[in-house]
A and B are shown apart, each in its own frame.
Chain A
Amino acid sequence: MKLRLDTKTIGFGFLAVLVTLYILFLPPPSRFYNPHLGMVMLGLIIVAILLGFPIAFTLMGLGILFGFAALWRPGVPFTENPIFDSMVLRTYGVMTNDIIISVPLFIFMGYIVERSGIIDRLFKSLELAMARVPGALAVATIATCAVFAAATGIVGAVVTLMGLLVLQPMLKAGYDVRMAAGAIAAGGCLGILIPPSVMLILYGATAGVSVVQLYAGAFGPGVMLALMYIGYVMIRAKLNPKMAPPLPMEERNVPALQILRMLATSFLPLFLLIGAVLGSIVGGWATASEAAALGAIGAIVLALAYRRLPWERFKDSVYLTSRTTAMVCWLLVGSWVFSSTFAVLGGQRILEQWVLSLDMSPTGFLLLSQVLIFLLGWPLDWTVIIIIFVPIFLPMLPHFGIDPLFFGLLTALNLQTAFLSPPMAMAAYYLKGVAPPQVTLAEIFRGMVPFMLLQIGAMVLLVMFPAIGMWLPKFLYQ
């Protein structure tokens, strides 16, 4: 039999090696005590997740089974096992969480903006305004995505929408396929980093860090990353105009008045809405959920004013909101059930002792944790990493004197790379779905590599100069 090196072989081979190492690492079952059971549970969850079963229910099932075993006492009837109370309290905890309530509201706002197609007006106005800069179309693409990212909390369908909107025009204008694909994919994933990011809400709820401070902190790195993308595109276009040819003369010489009118009608309203939403959160005028509700109302008004919200689209937004909310919130229910059992078993202590015994410097710990998150980001969805794996590191942060706020910003930036790293990189597959047949998946991946390197560069910058993220929250709240 010939050995084929495809994802399947590598993946399952890797999984087998991992499981074997893990079993060797554990003591023999006769010397098991509860924390080891916790480690078995943690190992099982990774294997079960990689087998592709819906993660929320894997977490819930494992939490119940291990919790039932851990809390079982002879003589207590099986229906009286305390795990049932613990489970339902955790579930009810998600149902009454006044931070997570902003998740559906921000998701709703994002879908309204997305489904009403406001993004194409935005792009047209920015394209006109930037017609003279090198790599105009790619720069306008990234700028559109960055503004759009400030109106939505998830990645959603931005890559697909932008792919439909700008890929053909860019290729027609003579852009290099890789440059065009990279700009769309990288820009389209900014939504998860730039506030109002759902990722930061989940991190805040898990780590007990104020979402307001996280939002204030994420402005710096988010804007920096978008500017780095734009700078990269402009430099490449300047050095090698063949990659991104300038627009023809007649398209560049648009009267200033027309540009202004276009910006005033298509860019300004959305920009003001975003400014009001984010400004009122960061300025302490409204809570995240209140600002999100007002933002959703504003988005509906805006879409109606543009006459771009037919009933069908509104209905679609409502249904998509319910499904995405259910996906996030049931995952939280599962992970809270799982983590309470993990805590009962005391698995956390083994991990903590092990990490502390390595006697690392704070930088060493930061490096280890971020490399682990980076690697986990290849096969796993960001939600899983934020909800299951990041909490493992959180209790260790005080030992190293690391601010959980800073750790959150770094993690959010880190998980950006997960969207662009093959083979999981959903952005590439979405883009491939709308690209003309001559654009191959391999070319899209190659186009994304420089942007991924920029993301890593942004992380290095943030570690070297924490003020990029920490300055604004410190300035506002201390």
Chain B
Amino acid sequence: MNSLLLTIDRISAVAGKVFAWLIVLLTAIVGYDVIMRKLGAPTHWAFDLSLMVYAVLFMMAGAYTLSRNGHVRADLLYRTLAPRTQATLDLLLYFAFFLPGIAALVYAGWEFAGKSLSIREASSVTGSGLPVYPVKMFIPVAGLLLLMQAFAEIARALICIRTGRWPERLHDVEEADVEQLKAIVQAAEVKGVTK
């Protein structure tokens, strides 16, 4: 069971990490555009394209972030609870809020993207004429990834209710991982910067 959960985590992570590199593309597009504009040769596609890149970047990272427990939660009270109680609460709220919300997003996003595709809708913000339906397709896709990840989270909660312990997650780079940050500071000392 746990290997299936970790597989789902990996799928979410691969999707999130592949599309995470769009930040480099986004930086490049916006940087290129501003430089070209100052040189007097503005591009007509950069504005539209940068918004699309940004949209896909964050939509596709939703499930990845969920798999790393990275969506903001107010855990003031939550963290004082026993794991079993935490899991029961999570389980209830996944069914009460998460599944209806994201299922609706998948359904509505599918219709939305379908309409856009059927008329081959192009951007009307600037004159670029870039097609917008590919970006709209990412709404249901991101939603489906989130549903799949939610399945893994619900299974985790069930395991926790049975065993009283949260199953292990995959290791990844963390915001405040002391070991990783220590390595950053120590790298400086080795190179003799700090004296």
Contact = CB atoms under 8 A, between A and B. Distances in A.
B51 A96 contact: yes
Interface string B106-147: 011101100000000000010000000001100100000000
Query: Interface on chain B toward A: helix, strand, loop, or mixed SS?
Result: helix
A54 interface: yes
B184 A54 contact: no
A52 interface: yes
A7 B108 CA distance: 41
Interface string B23-42: 11011111101100000000
Contact of B176 (A108, A157, A424): A157
A326 B111 CA distance: 23
How many chain A residues sit at the interface, stated as a range, is 35 or more
A62 B104 CA distance: 12
B77 A84 contact: no
A423 B172 CA distance: 27
A440 B20 CA distance: 38
A290 B175 CA distance: 26
Contacts of A108: 23, 27
A261 B97 CA distance: 58
Contacts of B180: 316
Consensus secondary structure, chain A interface: helix
A160 B181 contact: yes
Contacts of B104: 64, 83-84, 87
Interface string B58-85: 1101101110101111111111110000
Interface stretch (B1-9, B158-166, B186-194): B186-194
A325 B98 contact: no
A434 interface: yes
A327 B68 CA distance: 11
B195 A330 contact: no
B176 A433 contact: yes
A56 interface: yes
Interface stretch (A219-227, A292-300, A456-464): A292-300
Interface string A27-71: 000000000000000000000111111111110111111000000
Contacts of B135: 95
B82 to A, nearest CB: 10
Interface residues of B, number: 79
Nearest to A307: B191
Contacts of B33: 290
Contacts of B28: 293
A423 B80 CA distance: 12
A321 B24 CA distance: 10
Contacts of A430: 176
B155 interface: no
B76 A424 contact: yes
Contacts of A64: 100-101, 104
B27 to A, nearest CB: 5
A320 B17 CA distance: 10
A115 interface: yes
Query: What are the 5 A-B residue pairs with the smallest beta carbon separation, nearest first?
Result: A52-B78, A61-B97, A322-B20, A326-B61, A60-B101
Interface of A: 6-8, 11-12, 15, 48-58, 60-65, 79, 83-85, 87-88, 91-92, 95-96, 98, 100-101, 104-105, 108, 115-117, 120-121, 124, 156-157, 160-161, 164-165, 286, 289-290, 292-294, 296-297, 307-308, 313, 315-316, 318-331, 334, 337, 379-381, 383-384, 423-424, 430, 433-434
